[in-house]
Structure formats: C-alpha cells, structure tokens
Amino acid sequence: MSTTTCVGAFAAKTHFSELLHDVENGKRFEIARRGKPVAMLIGVHDRAVTGNGKEALDFFRSFRRTLKVPASEIHDWICEGRSR
C-alpha cells in the first residue's frame, strides 16, 4: 500500500491532471482545506480504502438481525439523528 500525501485544495485544483497521473501510478492524496482533511483522491481499484460495499452491507444486515430491533425503531433512530 502506498503512502498518502496531503495536498491543499488550491494546489489540488491547480495540479489536478498531474495528481490524476500520480494516482494512476498508485499514489494516494488527502485533500485538505485550511489544514483540515476533507477528501481523498485514490485510484478506483485501491481496495485498501474503498473496500467491498456488498460485504459491508451484508455485515450490517446480519448485525441488525442479531439485535432483534424492529425496523420501525431503527427508522426512528435515523430520524432522530437527522433532526440534531
């Protein structure tokens, strides 16, 4: 796995095509705004970061079954989280 290089948002915008070329060659970039990380620029095949969405979804579905919580209550939790 390659190391991640931090790049400012302005530099990322200015040198985007160069960054894409580097990403094609296996590099990864963390894009920051005012020193705070806000995004990652990685290759589409970088499985270490992107992972497998289907596996994650299957995990959460099986986890939900072990909780024995009705779907309506989970929906209420989601709505409560959105209202904060």
Give the whole-angstrom CA distance, residue 6 versus residue 31. Answer: 6
Domain residues of the chain, as ranges?
4-82
Walk along the chain (84 residues) in steps of 10 and give the mean pLDDT of each run.
Answer: 85 95 92 91 73 75 76 85 73
Q: What is the pLDDT of residue 2?
A: 65
The residue ranges of DSSP E strands in the chain, in sequence order, are: 4-8, 28-33, 36-41
Give the whole-angstrom CA distance, residue 36 versus residue 45. Answer: 25
Q: What is the pLDDT of residue 12?
A: 95
* Gyration radius of the chain's alpha carbons: 19
Q: What is the pLDDT of residue 31?
A: 94
What is 4-82's CATH number?
A: 3.40.1620.10
The number of angstroms, rounded, from the C-alpha of 45 to the middle of its chain's C-alpha atoms is 14
